Copies of this chain bind each other. A is one copy, B any other.
């Protein structure tokens, strides 16, 4: 599913070096954005020469994508833990929201990268990235909802794929609100409070309330 965008030489590099390059790359791309990120600077900060960087990655874009793939893995692993459990859908949702709050603070840079991708304007790239990033997540959401549907845990008239989509929209928006300048300000405009100063539990409670009723409402 995930197409590698690095050269063979990169695989042969030490784990420490691989780690360092991606870490520095994520930092640069997430803080400056793709266009303003400077690959020469990334090389310098990673402690390697620019020549070697091009032995590892064919283009700036490839480095960028590889950084993203690294971020995806982290986020995906966290989601896995939650979705693999036997909890009921609402319990999963609760865990999901709570984990999102915590993760967004801890892995702010990955989220920022994700925001960067979301504004990609090259249709081809955007599509490929979306498949790489969203496929695995979407499966987990849809499957969980479909299962809940089978178990009569949720209202029978919902479309599991669209509901998964709505759910992910809420989670994603929340992530951005924790990490991206624009969305943070937007959060404060809506709520009157800076998201960093708000108690996570208020968010968990309210968002869960929003979702819970969405899923379980019955006439």
Residues of A within 8 A of B (CB): 31-33, 35-36, 112, 115-123, 126-127, 129-131, 134-135, 138, 141-142, 155, 157-159, 161-166, 168-170, 172-174, 176, 180-187, 189-192, 202-203, 206-207, 209-217
Taking the full assembly, how many copies of this chain does it contain?
4
Residue of B nearest to A157 (CB): B209
What DSSP secondary structure best describes chain A's contact surface? helix
In the bound complex, how far is the Cα of B210 from the Cα of A116, in angstroms?
28
| CB–CB B181/A120 < 8 A | yes
Note all chain B residues with C-beta closer than 8 A to A190: 134, 138, 141-142, 161-162, 164-165, 168
Residue of B nearest to A30 (CB): B121
User: Smallest Cβ distance from A186 to chain B, in angstroms?
Assistant: 5
* Nearest 4 Cβ contacts at the A-B interface: A213-B217, A126-B181, A130-B185, A169-B173
